[in-house]
């Protein structure tokens, strides 16, 4: 018996580095996985064939409210009411503030912060109606401490936790928990895209001396999704190898 048997879990951006590990772990725990893909459908299909679990992939731009509404309608028609939402989809558009144009700013705010509203708004009512639900918002160490070159990303990721704390209060009585997970630097394509020299300087600041593994984030997300975590809501759980403590 898995801890998440009979649960439907939506993981946005599930084909990415951390997203894939979250899908795998929730599937291992028994959940039925639905994920969104914004990029090419063909790429997502190749991803699906390479996984050893079943997943339904639905094309969706999480920064677009109407797309998220259509996503909900399709999931409810084909599978049922979603129990678990992991708001994981995210992008970077790094640049020092003087080089940050309005497009880089709004792309990141729309994809990393407005998405939490666009997606959660579709599924909260189903959860409160059932008297059970889990929402996990993936933020970042850089939403907690700021990062040179990431005014957009740090703002969005800090905003995500404000959203978590407010929503957690509104749904607590209905059996729904809302939490933030703030990963540090994890070995994914997103982090590998940082110039090697800068990346090495960052790794030197991590007390455990290495990048995190996507599976280490997935394990924390799975715990928050389990019944064991019913007492935890409105929390921001850091998993960053000691790079930022507070």
Residue from 126, 130, 152, 224 nearest 182 by CA: 224
123 in helix, strand or coil? helix
CB 25 within 8 A of CB 215: yes
For the segment 142-181, give every residue that binds ligand CAA (CB under 6 A).
142, 147-150, 153
Q: Which H or E element spans position 234?
A: none
Select from 45, 79, 80, 96 the one that contacts ligand CAA (CB under 6 A): 96
239 binds ligand CAA (CB under 6 A): no
Q: Which of the ranges 37-45, 93-101, 121-129, 217-225 carries the binding residues for ligand CAA, by CB under 6 A?
A: 93-101
Distance in angstroms (rounded) separating the CA atoms of residues 206 and 211:
8
Q: How far is the CB of 202 from ligand CAA (least distance, A)?
A: 6
212 in helix, strand or coil? strand
208 binds ligand CAA (CB under 6 A): no
91 in helix, strand or coil? coil
CB 224 within 8 A of CB 134: yes
105 binds ligand CAA (CB under 6 A): no
16 binds ligand CAA (CB under 6 A): no
Select from 198, 205, 210, 230 the one that contacts ligand CAA (CB under 6 A): 198
100 binds ligand CAA (CB under 6 A): no
77 binds ligand CAA (CB under 6 A): no
**Annotated catalytic sites, by residue?**
153
């Amino acid at each position: 018996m898995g801890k998440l048997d009979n649960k439907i879990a939506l993981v946005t951006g599930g084909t990415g580095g951390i997203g894939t590990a979250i899908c795998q772990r929730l599937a291992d725990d028994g959940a039925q996985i639905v994920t969104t893909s914004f990029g090419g459908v063909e790429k997502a299909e190749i991803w699906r064939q390479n996984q050893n679990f079943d997943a339904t992939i639905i094309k969706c731009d999480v920064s677009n409210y109407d797309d998220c509404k259509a996503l909900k309608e399709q999931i409810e028609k084909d599978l049922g009411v979603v129990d678990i939402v992991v708001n994981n989809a995210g992008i970077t558009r790094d640049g020092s503030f003087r080089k940050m144009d309005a497009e880089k700013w709004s792309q990141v705010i729309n994809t990393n912060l407005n998405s939490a509203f666009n997606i959660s708004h579709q599924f909260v009512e189903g959860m409160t109606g059932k008297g059970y639900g889990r929402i996990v918002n993936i933020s970042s160490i850089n939403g907690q401490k700021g990062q040179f070159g990431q005014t957009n990303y740090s703002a969005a990721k800090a905003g995500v936790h404000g959203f978590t704390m407010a929503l957690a209060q509104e749904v607590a009585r209905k059996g729904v928990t809302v939490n933030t997970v703030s990963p540090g630097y994890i070995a994914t394509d997103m982090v590998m895209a940082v110039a090697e020299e800068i990346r090495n300087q960052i790794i030197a600041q991590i007390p455990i001396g290495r990048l995190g593994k996507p599976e280490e984030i997935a394990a924390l997300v799975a715990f928050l999704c389990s019944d064991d975590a019913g007492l935890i809501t409105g929390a921001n759980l850091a998993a960053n190898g000691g790079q930022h403590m507070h």
